Chain A
């Protein structure tokens, strides 16, 4: 029958931590195995990491494919990119004028309303980068802003000029520059320079003349009809609109323009000239950078909300941008769900990574977004024209969109693994605990089954007896072994009794026969022999008695009634008896002043003292004093009997109180079975005390002590 004792959690913990952890106990081993399970979360982490890398690689590949697809559309179309062999190698060192596609047709009438959203470009420009030009000696007198756009085959220029005094051309003037006017400079690819002057005598259409370097008189009497213009007076100056056919500035032609102000109506002298390319009008007109409508169309087709596509030329200049950088989850700091990165207005991308791509190598890379909140995956593919690289297609995507999903998956997997691991660990721990507990209980039961004296106390091991596993087998096997051992022990224990009984009968026959013989009135001689025979019989009887004494005592102790008594009285009385019984041996008695109350059986104490004194008489030198000392030792009474005599052999000391152990030489007339000190031990243990034997400190003899607990 197994009894399952419910274990309280705190006791469980205690039992875990209080148990001495052996280096290789089952618990330790199982815990080590459980530790090996820690590999699983690690493997899971590795797996997710690799998956992530794989997916990233896939993403990069996909993005690169997108870049290639866009690049394929652009291959061999150099007209989409501006060819300029003379362009300096250093990106950004060159001046250019940017022309933006215009959403609606422009009427050249000086009214900027039809420029639509492009007007916002003027307003949105940062202050330091504003395309604003002013007379440096008197900025308040003249300044202007411009906007360049294109639609169809025409390039349109919008100028908003601030002029304190707008003085128009006097119709009677002979010189064309005798009034506010505008200048256009076109440097053709063959370095020939065309100059155009635009002026008018009244608001409205502007007259356009091709002029020489002196900007005074027309080269031809004919006006240039290809170029159109108009101006309109405003509150603080005027607004001018110009229409220039694109063929006039076929790449790599360059364009510059200037606003010329005449303030004095009398002298008609030129007050200020503010140029788009200050100072060096002849040498360095700016290149006109068109935002190609075809490119815009292509970009429109590939625009995606989650990716942004840039078309750049060899110098890194931006020719077009489409799409946006959406992230999956719009947050509080980013309500639009768009990653803040390079603005669409950026005119040049100088990422070092692009240099390699422009060298002909398609690449993919990731970088932190400019707002440092996200990661951006970039893939770029060069655009070829024959063997020549025209530029590159750069596709950007916020990798967060992909990574967020991945992280979620990773978290889920990790969580599941951790939970499983925790459960498994707990289960293993519980199993180990249960197992060790069972084994420990079994061990304890086995330990208890056999007493310290080697006797079988219980022949049945209760724990695990009903268990159907190996521990149950072990328990049952132990029970069987104990049963057989118990049987043998019982046989051995009954041996003295059986022997005593079996020997008793013939001894009784001898005894009663001798009695009869004595009573018959035998002769004196016969009487002597009868007496000797009886003496022998009595000695035999004594041996038999002492053989059964221990067993009898154990039985008697079980039925003994306990009383409370003063040990002083008992010892004093007993020693008095010894003095009477052994007059030739001096007895010294040392008693404490205070009474020593003991709970137990006084008769057995006397019996034990008898044995101690017998022992002292047997081993002591004849006539040497025997010291009986009773003293208080903490909560115990120490009753010792010391004698002068031979010392104890060292190796026997621990076994003296075991049954059938005897030291020293035997005297012929005495039988010594070595049960005396065993009886002392039984009696001491019955009282909850202990006994020990030691050589005296001065090596003059032996002192045997019995310790008994006191009651207060």
Chain B
């Protein structure tokens, strides 16, 4: 039984393209042009994953509203924002609504499929925890790639999929510099700027610092990239 994915996107061409790409990867995909249509459908039957645009027709923050309503219906549903809006405020707003990831357009459809697959794998891992999942330990840091679980000094962190990938990439090779290019690969996004990487790192640091104000696990190597502090 194929997984059901809902795409809410007001641009019919883009919607059709995403729909086609994901269908080709074997998912059962439904597209909705606006919040009302999507919500009606969701009330009838919940999808297993929702990909939302933020701007929906004449509603500027339609995606955020829809996300909030969907969360009320299904607290653990993986929700992914796919939008042209890439300001920090939008990202923070989206992630505060407990979205699993926040992608900015343009997105490589190949990468989108990979991401969707990864998310479903995590959902599966959360549903039926394996007896001994792969656990990566690096000093105070504990990573469980299967369930996307991250802990710092035993306290769990809420990271998005992209952020998780960045932390994982850094933590796997502590002390070694991950260049901007390498980090761009890790985020699996089309066309990404150095600044976007800097923004990701800044956000990740902030999340760690909320738990541990002294956190300095991620070191900047100016002009080159970042590395995990070897402890």
Most buried by B among A507, A542, A569, A577: A577
- CA A575 to CA B223, docked complex, whole Å: 7
Q: What B residues does A512 contact at CB under 8 A? A: 13-14, 17-18, 21, 106-107, 109
Assess whether A538 is interfacial by the CB under 8 Å rule: yes
- CA A569 to CA B220, docked complex, whole Å: 10
Assess whether B191 is interfacial by the CB under 8 Å rule: yes
In chain B, what residue has the closest Cβ to A578?
B223
Are A505 and B110 in contact, with the CB atoms below 8 A? no
In chain B, what residue has the closest Cβ to A513?
B17
**A505 is contacted by which of B11, B88, B221, B223 (Cβ under 8 Å)?**
B11
Are A515 and B221 in contact, with the CB atoms below 8 A? no
Assess whether A501 is interfacial by the CB under 8 Å rule: yes
Assess whether A201 is interfacial by the CB under 8 Å rule: no
Partner-binding segment picked from A49-57, A286-294, A323-331, A599-607: A599-607
- CA A24 to CA B107, docked complex, whole Å: 66
- CA A552 to CA B199, docked complex, whole Å: 13
- CA A444 to CA B179, docked complex, whole Å: 49
**A606 is contacted by which of B14, B18, B21, B223 (Cβ under 8 Å)?**
B223
Q: What B residues does A603 contact at CB under 8 A? A: 195, 198, 220
Assess whether B108 is interfacial by the CB under 8 Å rule: yes
- CA A577 to CA B181, docked complex, whole Å: 11
Are A516 and B17 in contact, with the CB atoms below 8 A? yes
Residue-wise interface mask of B (83-110) relative to A, using a CB-CB cutoff of 8 A (1 in contact, 0 not): 0100110000000000000000111111
Count A-side interface residues using an 8 Å CB cutoff: 38
Assess whether A573 is interfacial by the CB under 8 Å rule: yes
- CA A333 to CA B146, docked complex, whole Å: 124
Q: What B residues does A515 contact at CB under 8 A? A: 17, 21, 108-110
Q: What A residues does B21 contact at CB under 8 A? A: 512, 515-516, 519
Assess whether A559 is interfacial by the CB under 8 Å rule: yes
A683 vs chain B, min Cβ distance (A): 12
Assess whether A508 is interfacial by the CB under 8 Å rule: yes
Given contacts A504-B84, A509-B11, contact A545 B193 (CB under 8 A): yes
Assess whether B20 is interfacial by the CB under 8 Å rule: yes
Are B24 and A541 in contact, with the CB atoms below 8 A? no
Are B24 and A508 in contact, with the CB atoms below 8 A? no
Residue-wise interface mask of B (138-160) relative to A, using a CB-CB cutoff of 8 A (1 in contact, 0 not): 00000000000000000000000
Instruction: Report how many A-B pairs have Cβ atoms within 8 Å.
Output: 87
Residue-wise interface mask of B (6-27) relative to A, using a CB-CB cutoff of 8 A (1 in contact, 0 not): 0000010110011011001000
Q: What A residues does B88 contact at CB under 8 A? A: 556, 559
Assess whether A264 is interfacial by the CB under 8 Å rule: no
Assess whether A692 is interfacial by the CB under 8 Å rule: no
Q: What A residues does B107 contact at CB under 8 A? A: 512
In chain A, what residue has the closest Cβ to B190?
A511
- CA A501 to CA B180, docked complex, whole Å: 26
Assess whether A570 is interfacial by the CB under 8 Å rule: yes
- CA A505 to CA B105, docked complex, whole Å: 9
- CA A603 to CA B197, docked complex, whole Å: 11
- CA A508 to CA B191, docked complex, whole Å: 12
Assess whether B224 is interfacial by the CB under 8 Å rule: yes
Q: What A residues does B20 contact at CB under 8 A? A: 516
Are A504 and B220 in contact, with the CB atoms below 8 A? no
In chain A, what residue has the closest Cβ to B24?
A519
Residue-wise interface mask of A (569-581) relative to B, using a CB-CB cutoff of 8 A (1 in contact, 0 not): 1111111111010
Of the four ranges (under 10, 10 to 19, 20 to 34, 35 or more), the interface on chain B belongs to: 20 to 34
Assess whether A470 is interfacial by the CB under 8 Å rule: no
Q: What B residues does A572 contact at CB under 8 A? A: 222
Q: What A residues does B180 contact at CB under 8 A? A: 577
**B14 is contacted by which of A509, A537, A556, A576 (Cβ under 8 Å)?**
A509
Interface residues of A in 572-621 (CB under 8 A from B): 572-578, 580, 602-603, 606-607, 609-610
Q: What A residues does B13 contact at CB under 8 A? A: 509, 512-513
Most buried by A among B11, B180, B223, B224: B223
Are A573 and B109 in contact, with the CB atoms below 8 A? no
Q: What A residues does B17 contact at CB under 8 A? A: 509, 512-513, 515-516
Q: What B residues does A575 contact at CB under 8 A? A: 223
Given contacts A504-B105, A541-B106, A545-B193, contact A602 B220 (CB under 8 A): yes
Are B106 and A606 in contact, with the CB atoms below 8 A? no
Interface residues of A in 510-539 (CB under 8 A from B): 511-513, 515-516, 519, 537-538
Are B223 and A541 in contact, with the CB atoms below 8 A? no
Are B191 and A570 in contact, with the CB atoms below 8 A? no
In chain A, what residue has the closest Cβ to B220?
A602
Are A574 and B191 in contact, with the CB atoms below 8 A? no
Q: What A residues does B221 contact at CB under 8 A? A: 573
Given contacts A504-B84, A504-B105, contact A602 B222 (CB under 8 A): yes
A624 vs chain B, min Cβ distance (A): 21
Interface residues of A in 474-506 (CB under 8 A from B): 501, 504-505
Assess whether A220 is interfacial by the CB under 8 Å rule: no
Assess whether A555 is interfacial by the CB under 8 Å rule: yes
Are A576 and B224 in contact, with the CB atoms below 8 A? yes
- CA A267 to CA B2, docked complex, whole Å: 194
Given contacts A504-B84, A559-B88, contact A606 B24 (CB under 8 A): no
- CA A606 to CA B88, docked complex, whole Å: 20
Are A570 and B108 in contact, with the CB atoms below 8 A? no
Q: A519-B24, A580-B224 are in contact. List 14 more A-B contacts (CB 8 A).
A: A501-B84, A505-B11, A505-B84, A509-B13, A512-B13, A515-B21, A537-B106, A538-B191, A573-B224, A576-B223, A603-B220, A606-B194, A606-B223, A610-B194
Which 3 pairs, one residue from A and one from B, show the smallest C-beta to C-beta distance?
A: A574-B223, A573-B222, A577-B223
Provide 28 A-B residue pairs closer than 8 Å at the C-beta atoms, listed in order of the A residue. Answer: A504-B106, A505-B11, A507-B106, A508-B14, A509-B17, A512-B14, A512-B21, A512-B107, A512-B109, A515-B108, A516-B20, A519-B110, A538-B191, A542-B191, A545-B193, A556-B88, A570-B222, A573-B223, A574-B222, A574-B223, A575-B223, A576-B223, A602-B222, A603-B195, A603-B198, A603-B220, A606-B222, A607-B195
